[in-house]
Copies of this chain bind each other. A is one copy, B any other.
Amino acid sequence: MTQVKNTFQFEDMLKKHHLKKTAPRLRVLSMMYSKTTATSQPDLENVMHDIDRVTLYRILNIFEEKGIIHKVFDLNGTANYAVCSSGCQENHHHDEHLHFNCTRCKNVYCINDLYLPGLTLPEGFKAESFTLYANGICPKCEKKPHH
Contacts and interface: CB of A to CB of B under 8 A. Distances in A.
Interface of A: 71, 73, 77-79, 98, 100, 103, 109, 111, 113-114, 117, 119-139, 142
Contacts of A138: 124-125
Contacts of A137: 125-126, 128
A135 B124 contact: no
Contacts of A129: 134-136
Given A100-B121, A119-B114, A130 B132 contact: yes
B135 A128 contact: yes
19 contacts: A77-B77, A77-B79, A100-B121, A109-B125, A111-B125, A117-B117, A119-B132, A119-B134, A121-B134, A124-B138, A125-B134, A125-B137, A125-B138, A125-B139, A127-B135, A127-B136, A128-B137, A129-B135, A130-B132
A93 to B, nearest CB: 10
A92 to B, nearest CB: 13
A4 to B, nearest CB: 20
Contacts of A130: 132-135
Contact of A126 (B126, B128, B132, B136): B136
A122 B111 CA distance: 8
A124 B109 CA distance: 12
Contact of A77 (B78, B121, B124): B78
Contacts of A111: 121-122, 125
